Every structure is written in C-alpha cells, then in structure tokens.
C-alpha cells in the first residue's frame, strides 16, 4: 500500500511540475512576443514613421511628467495600464466573433478590428498586437477635452 501511495504522490508531483513548467514557458513566450513586437515599427497610421512601441511608450512617460496637473498624467497612465490589456483582448475577440455576445453588448469603437473573423489561429497574436497598439495610441496620444499630453515625438528628431 505504501508503494502505491508513493507512486501516486510521485505522479501528482510530476504532473504539478509539468503544469508549472508549461505555465512558465507560456509566460516566457508571451514576454518574448511582446518584446519582439515592441521593437518593430508601430502599425498605427498616425504614428510617426518608424516609431517603435517602446519609443512611443518612452515618449508618453515623458509627456505624462510634463502635463499639468501631474495627477492627470499619472491617472491616465494608470488607467491605460489597467484597461488596455483587457480592452485589447475583448476587442480582438469581438473582431473574431462578429455578432457574438461581446459584440452585441459593446458599443462601436474604431479600435475593434473588422473583417478578421476568418483569420487563421496562428495570426491571432498579431491581430491582438495590432489592436493593442491602436488602443495604446487612442488612450495616450489622441487629443481629448481634458488632460492632453504633448504631441508624440521621436527622441532625437
């Protein structure tokens, strides 16, 4: 009996470690994808030519420090950090499933992709990244009635 419980405990430990390893590898793959895509020129029409996502975010962090009142810039960045990841997943899902539940309960937004419902599964990460870039631009660079950052600038230009 002791042998069976020992074998069962070893099996549970192995499965736990395998799941943990798969989770860590998935996190590393996502981080690598974001790092790689962040170093590519952004695909948003209004972005200065050749500007990468990391350059854009660096510029927006600088702009947040320049805006008055200071809490306005910090609040905008916190809102972006909380909402952009969620919105990008939801908006990509709406684009992939037009007429679905999320589409029916969401209001129209220019950041929701159209005509993408038939893309292949391996193109979904690229679709998500495009949506994430558009949301980033909308939340941090677009002119709004209040709390406006300065226009986007590429450092050294």
Average pLDDT over every residue of 93-119: 93
Contacts of 39 (CB under 8 A, 6+ apart): 52, 53, 54
The predicted pLDDT at position 157 comes to 55
Cα Rg of the chain (Å, integer): 21
The predicted pLDDT at position 149 comes to 86
Would you say 96 and 112 are in contact if contact means Cβ atoms under 8 Å apart? no
The full set of domain ranges for the chain reads: 39-140
> If pLDDT is split at 50, 70 and 90, which confidence band does 148 have?
confident
Q: Which two tokens stand for residue 34?
A: 């974001």
* Residues 22-63: tens digit of each pLDDT: 999 999 999 999 999 999 999 999 999 899 999 999 999 998
The predicted pLDDT at position 156 comes to 58
> What is the distance between the alpha carbons of residues 82 and 62, in angstroms, rounded to a whole number?
19
Angle at 110 between CA 59 and CA 38, to 5 degrees: 35
């Amino acid at each position: 009996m002791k042998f069976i419980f020992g074998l069962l405990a070893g099996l549970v430990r192995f499965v736990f470690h395998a799941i943990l390893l798969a989770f860590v590898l998935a996190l590393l793959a996502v981080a690598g994808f974001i790092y790689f895509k962040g170093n590519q020129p952004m695909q948003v029409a209004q972005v200065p030519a050749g500007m990468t996502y990391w350059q854009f975010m660096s510029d927006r962090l600088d702009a947040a420090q320049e805006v008055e009142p200071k809490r306005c810039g910090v609040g905008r960045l916190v809102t972006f950090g909380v909402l952009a990841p969620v919105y990008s997943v939801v908006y990509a899902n709406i684009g992939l499933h037009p007429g679905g539940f999320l589409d029916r309960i969401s209001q129209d937004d220019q950041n929701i992709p159209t005509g993408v419902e038939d893309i292949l599964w391996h193109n979904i990460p690229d679709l998500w990244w495009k949506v994430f870039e558009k949301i980033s631009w909308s939340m941090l660079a677009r002119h709004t009635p209040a709390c406006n950052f300065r226009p986007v600038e590429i450092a050294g230009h």
